[in-house]
Amino acid sequence: MARAEVVRPYRGMSAANRRDERRDKLLAAGRQVWGEAGPAEVTVRRVCAASGLTPRYFYEQFPTRDALVLAVAAQVHEELAATLVEASRSESGGLERKLRRALTAYLDAIADDPRIHRILTSDAHGTAGLEELRARSVGIVTDLVVQYSAEFLDTPAAPEDRRREALFVVGGINQLVEAWLHDPRQSSAELATLCTELALAVATRTG
């Protein structure tokens, strides 16, 4: 009869907690390397050196280097989406104020961390699945715009029309943000105000 493996706590931490801690270290190291040197430099060797972990622990968490890159990108996009939601919910005003507050917080988060800036603007063609991840992130933001439009706008619109408008708005804002990332001549507040005005012009149109 086979003996069940006994996994004892180490320094008060369970095996699962230790694995989670190692994953967090690898993600932080991957973000650091990517943000400072670019995605091509996110290698197993360099990430292990930055995290203080061995390749054994790397492959315990990620089957490939690309899997880590995708996990880092997903983490960044999730954090930014959470920033949008939290900022809009903390604003007690109407749609215009909520949208401006959310966009300002989003842009400030990018401006305050150069690593995020580089992760968002890196060429997506070098890692399989990265473009799809970015597309899904755009879809999540589009869903939020549709939700808020239905909640705050009085202008009638069929659901399919509302979603097309939201896709147009999000796509346009995304292009403006990308241009700003490469050449930030405006402040985050100025760009947020411009994006808000353009978004509302589309969302409140008639006819």
Handedness of CA 36, 41, 44, 49 (dihedral sign): negative
Domain boundary among 19, 46, 63: 63
Minimal CA–CA distance to 49: which of 26, 19, 17? 26
pTM: 0.80
Does one domain contain both 148 and 57?
no
Is residue 114 within 8 Å of 202, Cβ to Cβ?
A: no
Tell me the pLDDT tens digit for each residue of 23-40: 999 999 999 999 999 888
Question: Do residue 82 and residue 175 come from a single domain?
Answer: yes
Residues 113 and 189 in one domain: yes
How does residue 183 score in pLDDT terms, banded at 50, 70 and 90? confident
**Residue 32 and residue 94 in one domain:** no
CA distance from start to end of the chain: 76
* 93 and 150 assigned to the same domain: yes
Which amino acid, one-letter code, is at 164? R
Distance CA(89)–CA(175), nearest Å, equals 25
Residue 109 contacts residue 83 (beta carbons within 8 Å): yes
- What's the pLDDT score for residue 156? 66
* Distance from C-alpha of 18 to C-alpha of 182, rounded to nearest angstrom: 39
What distance lies between CA 195 and its chain's CA centroid?
19
